């Protein structure tokens, strides 16, 4: 097995970009709540990196995920308070992390890089196990749907959501974004054996947007609603007409896009059990 080549070295004050994956079942979302009894991914990562730096570290992420939502390729950045090499941040950081969180790489970036504001797109995958019986092994890692799903109908319905549109009907009532406008670059629904995969990329997402889209597409795939319903919900600009919010267990942040000038490694497709798909 080839050992990872850790070549980068960081000086004090250097900005560090990092790729992280996590199993959201163990956490109350990404964002730190500064409460000892509430575990969050951000707090776990900051504590681990703080051990390596022997100093407090505050990280910024590309997209804050909710409780129970996973990530195979979350991007974060922080400013190094000390001189360390890449191996220290990656291998050393992982030794201080819980098993549900892993650092994959750390790279030096320009000081104007920002994990959130420099991103031009985010990509999520919503994974549905479409079998008559639930899986004990994948519990919490996918959403289970025992009704047969028509993948072609789901994909066709999703094409009405492409482009820069008003997603009022697809955001949570508690969403605090100043605008409901988002630009969806692609939305694909396909089947991989017993898995139905909703693959969606946009410039950014509203609170619960992907899960609300998944809820609508599942209803269409199950034959409860017609293909046209996804567009009807969109045009209504009313959250109450959209139906249920799909569970968080099937949702993965799988990629973040940045300008090529930052030269960050590609994300792959994720999550790991759909590698190559």
Active-site option among 14, 66, 199, 238: 66
- Nearest of 45, 24, 44 to residue 36 by alpha carbon: 44
Catalytic residue flag (residue 166): no
| Cα angle for residues 180, 171, 67 (degrees, 5° grid) | 130
Hey, what are 103's tokens?
């650092």
For residue 15, what are the CA distances in angstroms to 11, 46, 63, 169, 226? 9, 15, 18, 38, 50
Determine the Cα–Cα distance for residues 232 and 77; give it in Å rounded to an integer.
40
Q: Considering only the C-alpha atoms of the chain, give the largest distance between any 2 of them, rounded to a whole number of Å.
A: 59
Across-strand partners of 71? 22, 253
Catalytic residues, by residue number, are 66
């Amino acid at each position: 097995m080839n050992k990872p080549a850790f070549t980068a070295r960081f000086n004090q004050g250097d900005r560090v970009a990092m790729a992280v994956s996590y199993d959201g079942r163990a956490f109350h979302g990404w964002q730190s709540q500064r409460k000892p009894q509430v575990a969050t991914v951000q707090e776990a990562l900051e504590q681990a990196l703080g051990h390596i730096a022997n100093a407090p570290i505050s990280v910024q992420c590309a997209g804050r995920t909710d409780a129970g939502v996973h990530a195979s390729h979350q991007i974060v950045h922080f400013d190094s308070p000390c001189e360390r090499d890449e191996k220290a941040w990656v291998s050393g950081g992982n030794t201080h992390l819980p098993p549900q969180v892993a650092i994959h790489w750390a790279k030096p970036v320009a000081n104007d890089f920002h994990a959130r504001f420099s991103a031009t797109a985010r990509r999520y995958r919503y994974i549905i196990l479409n079998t008559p019986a639930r899986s004990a092994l994948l519990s919490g890692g996918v959403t289970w749907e025992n009704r047969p799903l028509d993948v072609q109908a789901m994909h066709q319905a999703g094409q009405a959501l492409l482009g820069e549109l008003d997603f009022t009907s697809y955001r949570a009532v508690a969403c605090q974004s100043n605008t409901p406008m988002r630009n969806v670059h692609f939305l694909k629904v396909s089947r991989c054996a017993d898995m139905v995969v909703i693959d969606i990329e946009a410039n950014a997402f509203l609170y619960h947007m992907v899960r609300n889209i998944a809820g609508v597409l599942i209803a269409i795939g199950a034959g409860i609603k017609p293909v046209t319903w996804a567009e009807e919900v969109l045009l209504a600009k009313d959250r109450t007409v959209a139906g249920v919010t799909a569970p968080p267990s099937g949702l993965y942040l799988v990629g973040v896009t940045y300008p090529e000038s930052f030269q960050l490694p590609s994300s792959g497709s994720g999550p790991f059990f759909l590698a190559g798909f």
